[in-house]
């Protein structure tokens, strides 16, 4: 049986001790905190095998409502959901790639998206942040494959966490809504980090049931895009090179 040394990065220390783990106080929205976190891991263990980027918030920001400042002018919206759920996540993934690509064995990255990334029913900024996670994952696919780095996502539905008030959980359960636990979601994470043949896949977790849904999206792409997809295939290498130089970044 294999064991793992786990580093927990959060603003708050775990309420209960986790055997084999080290807690590091980290504000994921601060780049300096993140660089110190990853350096601490590398200095301690000499390598980084797995990143689970799970930090997230669901703030009712009323982004598209008319909110006015003290001067009577329309106030600039706040985007904490974007800052935590997407920007911080991208920074974590960037740092993980930085270290993992130096390892012959590569590494494994799992990000937390949401069912809202595929079928949004919550706030628009939350849905946008989670859809952005999936977009990042798809775009990184071909860059990470030769580096032997796997990147996958989980997309939970209603889950009993600190983001869902206890009163809401109780009320929903009384109405027959299945609210899964974080432990259920962790099973999907464990599956992804132990199956190296999975890459840029999403496991949706809804009502304690697991389903891989990203491959279904890919299978439906031809139907969705129609002639556009066929047109891309007929473009010659010169056209692709222009597109690559104009739009494509590298890792």
Alpha helices in 145-213 (DSSP H): 166-174, 182-193
Indicate which residue of 115, 118, 126, 198 is catalytic.
126
Q: Is 126 a catalytic residue?
A: yes
Tokens of 80: 């904490």
What is the C-alpha to C-alpha distance for residues 47 and 225, in angstroms, rounded to an integer? 41
Indicate which residue of 130, 142, 198, 225 is catalytic.
130
Dihedral through CA 128, CA 160, CA 200, CA 5, nearest 10? 130
Q: Is 23 a catalytic residue?
A: no
Buried b / exposed e over 52-66, threshold 16 CB at 10 Å, is bbbbbebbebebeee
Sort strands 202-206 and 209-212 into parallel, antiparallel or unpaired: antiparallel
What is the C-alpha to C-alpha distance for residues 162 and 166, in angstroms, rounded to an integer? 8
Structural contact between residues 21 and 7, judged by C-beta atoms closer than 8 angstroms: yes
Catalytic residues: 126, 130
């Amino acid at each position: 049986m294999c064991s793992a040394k786990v580093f927990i990065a959060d603003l708050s220390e775990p309420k209960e001790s986790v055997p084999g783990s080290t807690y590091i106080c980290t504000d994921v929205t601060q780049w300096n905190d993140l660089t110190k976190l990853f350096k601490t891991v590398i200095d301690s263990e000499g390598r980084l095998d797995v990143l689970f980027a799970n930090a997230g918030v669901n703030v009712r920001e009323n982004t598209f409502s008319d909110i006015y400042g003290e001067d009577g002018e329309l106030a600039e919206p706040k985007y904490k959901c974007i800052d935590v759920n997407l920007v911080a996540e991208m920074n974590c993934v960037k740092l993980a790639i930085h270290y993992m690509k130096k390892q012959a064995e590569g590494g494994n990255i799992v990000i937390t998206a949401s069912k809202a990334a595929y079928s949004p029913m919550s706030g628009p900024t939350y849905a946008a942040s989670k859809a952005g996670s999936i977009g990042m994952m798809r775009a990184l696919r071909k860059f990470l494959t030769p580096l032997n780095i796997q990147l996958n996502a989980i997309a939970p539905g209603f889950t009993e966490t600190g983001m869902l008030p206890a009163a809401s959980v109780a009320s929903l359960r009384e109405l027959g809504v299945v609210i899964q636990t974080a432990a259920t979601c962790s099973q999907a994470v464990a599956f992804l980090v132990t199956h190296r043949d999975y890459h840029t896949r999403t496991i949706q977790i809804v009502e304690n049931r697991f389903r891989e849904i990203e491959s279904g999206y890919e299978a439906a792409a031809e139907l969705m895009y129609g002639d556009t997809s066929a047109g891309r295939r007929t473009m010659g290498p010169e056209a692709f090179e222009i597109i690559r130089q104009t739009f494509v970044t590298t890792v």
